[in-house]
Amino acid sequence: MTRRSAATTGGSAATASEPSADLVLIGGSVLTMDEAGSRAEAVAVAGGRILAVGAQADIEPLIGANTRVIDLDGRALLPGINDSHLHAAWLGARWPHTFFGAPDPEVAAQLSGALAVDREARRAAILNAGRMLSELGITSYTEPGIGPGEDDGETGCFHSEVLDVYRELAAEGELQQRVTMLALYGVLDGPSDVETVLSGIRERAAAAPEPEPTWLNVPGVKIFGDLIPLSRQAWTDRAYDDGTHGDLLVNGDSIEQKAEGLAEMIRAAHAAGLQIGLHATGDRTIGLALDAIAEAAAQPGAPTSQQLGHVIIHGDLATSDQVRRMAKLGVWFNAQPGIATITGSWLASMMGADAAAEAWQFGAALDAGVLVLSSDAPVLHFDWRHWVAAAEERIVMMGGDASPEVASARLHRLLRAYTAVPAAQDRAASWKGTVEVGKVADLVVLARDPFEVGAEGLPEVPVDLTVLDGQVIFER
Ligand SMILES: [Zn+2]
């Protein structure tokens, strides 16, 4: 850890010609979450952007008559948390009935049918989720799958109108997080019709960009590759206990035909310049997807996969070789560590201890630089502190070095997987995700420095304050 030098941060800001700050947070440990792990003592904010980061003495001259000054009193300040796979409308409508870890599991399991049937209910659900997320320092999320594929869906939480409601909230300045959305043309968790998805891809590619993409952006599409190992529907090399290998979520008469349909959807979305968020858990599905991406990117004049930032969502059974291939291709591995904790022994019972031991390759993904952490709320709780701890637990369980020095360096990277890296997934690394001059002032204050307590102690560290676009939106 190095302290940022005044020359690169606040030093130049401390001149008479600089405007005074709207907000100054001073006297703490500013964890910038840049790659080097730089630290500072204070941050100044003006016009919703970070004006200066540096030592206390660099920032003090920026305090004017109208500056709100928050004394950090030794607490930690980080960039706002980005939950890069979270169904906010569904979360807001279901709360507190998450699928795992609900306060009343029986009610949660039985909760079915319509949850948000009209515009008003959808708006209320998004606002409800937004308020809860802001209380945990979450300032960005990806809403992965809203669109016509679910206009007849059971819950109403993924209906096309949800996008209209987001637009309305963005225009009114009512959003409590910055939202990236993936459009959904197939059905949720069910088999897609290839032609329907292909026509959706054409429609999405022709759609006008959102007017304020720093608040609401729709860079691409959600596609379902396969389902999950626990229903024996992840498409796998290894057999399940019943001798089957799972399936793909694509309509077709044979697995070969389904595989070709999925590859065609992926190639078409890539060729159209869209980001693909692919729900894929089985190693065979992931291999197919990486082949299709590589093939699409190799076409003359096609964008590179790095430019589009495709995402393998879940990736439970991705092999370590596949993870390294993701890095080569510039494909993100968006994982939910809580799933490993909760379903690990279940997977072992269905696929064998070896399969369970090799699943959830978070350490390999972290080393390859492709790991992005998320909650998948309301499948799991959105409390990111637990999922950072769960990722650490899984990595150590799989043989990761647990010595304090290595664990500390790894904590830095795990925290980046909830801040800087998802900003890259959002194709927004130039303006959010770290505490650096010129970036948006989306910040979170934790009661203690996470490096003092380690990943396993993080869940006990209270979130004290959330700043979004330079405004304090939550104070404990
Ligand atoms: Zn999900």
Tell me, what CATH number does 200's domain have? 3.20.20.140
What is the number of structural domains in the chain? 1
Measured in Å, residue 77 CA sits from the centre of ligand 1 at 29
Mean pLDDT across 158-177: 98
Average the pLDDT over 8-19 and give the result: 48
| Tens-digit pLDDT profile for residues 89-113 | 999 999 999 999 888 888 888 888 8
Asked, for residue 348, whether it belongs to a domain, the answer is yes
Q: What's the 374 CA to ligand 1 centre distance in angstroms?
A: 9
How remote is the CA of residue 113 from the centroid of ligand 1, in Å?
18
Residue 20 placed within a domain: no
CB 76 within 8 A of CB 449: yes
173-196: average pLDDT: 96
Using the mean position of ligand 1's atoms as its centre, give its distance from the Cα of residue 380 in Å. 10
Q: Is position 66 within any domain?
A: no
pLDDT at site 366 = 97
**Cα separation, 302 vs 374, whole angstroms:** 29
Ligand 1 center to residue 74 CA distance, Å? 37
Distance 86 CA to ligand 1 centre (A): 6
Say whether pLDDT at 8 is over 60.
Answer: no
The pLDDT of residue 14 is 44
Distance of CA 243 from the midpoint of ligand 1 (Å) = 27
Mean pLDDT taken over the chain? 94
**What is the whole-number distance in angstroms between the Cα of residue 229 and the centre of ligand 1?**
15
Strand pairing of 39-46 and 23-31?
antiparallel
**Ligand 1 centre and the CA of 175: distance in Å?**
21
Burial of 410 by CB count in 10 Å (0-12 exposed, 13-18 middle, 19+ buried)?
A: buried
Task: Determine, yes or no, domain membership for 48.
Answer: no
Give me the mean pLDDT over the 52-69 stretch: 97
At 234 the pLDDT is: 96
User: How far away, in angstroms, is 239 Cα from ligand 1 center?
Assistant: 25
Cα of 448 from ligand 1 centre, angstroms: 31
- CA of 144 relative to ligand 1 center, distance in Å: 7
| Residue 441 included in any domain | no
Q: How confident is the model at residue 197 (pLDDT cuts 50, 70, 90)?
A: very high
In the chain, the percentage of residues whose pLDDT exceeds 90 is 92
* Whole-number pLDDT of residue 33: 98
CA of 246 to the centre of ligand 1 (A): 19
Protein residues placing their CB within 5 Å of the ion ligand 1 = 376
| CA 15 to ligand 1 centroid distance, Å | 48
pLDDT digits (tens, 9 = 90+) for 201-213: 999 999 999 999 9
Neighbours of 112 (CB within 10 A): 8
With respect to residue 52, please indicate whether it lies within any of the assigned structural domains. Answer: no
- Tell me the per-residue pLDDT of 435-468, one tens digit each, with 9 for 90 and over: 999 999 999 999 999 999 999 999 999 999 999 9
Say how many Å lie between the CA of residue 36 and the centre of ligand 1.
31
Ligand 1 centroid to residue 340 C-alpha, Å: 15
CA gap 112, 347 in Å, rounded? 26
The Cα–Cα gap between 197 and 475 comes to 43
CA of 326 to the centre of ligand 1 (A): 20
Q: How much is the pLDDT for 17?
A: 55
Position 470 in a domain: no
Indicate the pTM of the whole model.
Answer: 0.94
Flag whether pLDDT at 413 surpasses 60. yes
- Ligand 1: distance of its center to the CA of 61 in Å? 46
Distance 234 CA to ligand 1 centre (A): 15
pLDDT average, residue stretch 215-226: 98
Confidence at 418, pLDDT banded by 50, 70, 90: very high
3-state helix, strand, coil in the chain (%, to 5): 40, 20, 40
317-342 residue pLDDT tens: 999 999 999 999 999 999 999 999 99
| For range 159-171, the mean pLDDT | 98
In this predicted structure, the answer to whether residue 424 has a pLDDT above a threshold of 90 is yes
Q: How far is the CA of 181 from the centre of ligand 1 (A)?
A: 12
Distance 2 CA to ligand 1 centre (A): 37
β-strand partners of 179: 141, 216
Find the 362 Cα to ligand 1 centroid distance in Å. Answer: 18
Q: Are 318 and 361 a contacting pair, CB within 8 Å? A: yes
SS (H, E, C) 141-189: EEEEEECHHHCCCCCCCCCHHHHHHHHHHHHHCCCCCEEEEEEECCCCC
Q: How far is the CA of 184 from the centre of ligand 1 (A)?
A: 12
Q: How far is the CA of 464 from the centre of ligand 1 (A)?
A: 28
Q: How confident is the model at residue 275 (pLDDT cuts 50, 70, 90)?
A: very high
The pLDDT score that the predictor gives to residue 18 is 60
Ligand 1 centroid to residue 343 C-alpha, Å:
16
CA 7 to ligand 1 centroid distance, Å: 43
Residue 402 alpha carbon to ligand 1 centre in Å: 30
| Predicted confidence (pLDDT) at residue 3 exceeds the cutoff of 50 | no
Distance 190 CA to ligand 1 centre (A): 13
Q: Mean pLDDT throughout 241-247?
A: 96
Give Dmax over CA atoms of the chain in angstroms: 74
Its domain, for residue 228, covers 81-433
Structural domain contains residue 111: yes
Taken in order 47, 53, 54, 55, is the CA torsion positive or negative? Answer: positive
Q: How far is the CA of 29 from the centre of ligand 1 (A)?
A: 34
Q: What is the pLDDT of residue 150?
A: 93
